[in-house]
Amino acid sequence: MQEKQIIFFIAPLLLANILHHFLVIKYNLFSALARPVDNNLMLKGKRLFGKNKTYRGFIVLILATSLATCFLTPLFPKILLPYPALVFGALLGFAYALGELPNSFIKRRLGIPEGQSPKGKAKLFFLILDNMDSVFLATLMLYLIYKTDWQIYAYIIVLGSVIHFVVDQIVRRYGYKSQLNK
């Protein structure tokens, strides 16, 4: 049962991210929504989050995670959700998208350009943070709305972060990272 829970909670976010990067961004779908969530606001001469964190990313991740959760729920009948699948998925998608913002905020304060990693000693720290931030916040949301064994949450954070890293490498390999508009 634990393996099924892990798959069920990671799969909608994975599907949403794949849809976002390889369909929405690739073909610039919903381009009117590709506006920065920080509305170009500055703090001490630096953008809050940068151009890559957009309304489109939030909306696509929320809707796609919600729909993927609805699609997957019948395949996992023993997992009983505390909310309708549509709402449950939307909450996870929202938390996942929101989890990207603090990292971007920190990077902008440090003068690290959008879509790039720092050089030197901070590189490993941000590599880990880049791949755990959204997974961690989605898992925190999961913890708040779905009670299960703590090991499930730990597996989701570790496995979800590894999957995030792999997908990120694929996205970079095919050149989507430089043009990201999350």
Summarize pLDDT for 3-42 with one digit per residue, the tens: 999 999 999 999 999 999 999 998 999 999 999 999 999 9
Look at the chain and report how many structural domains it folds into: 1
What tens digit of pLDDT does each residue of 50-87 get? 999 999 999 999 999 999 999 999 999 999 999 999 99
Find the Cα–Cα–Cα–Cα dihedral 144, 53, 101, 5, rounded to 10°. Answer: 30
pTM of the model: 0.92
Are the beta carbons of 152 and 114 closer than 8 angstroms? no
* Domain carrying residue 55: 2-179
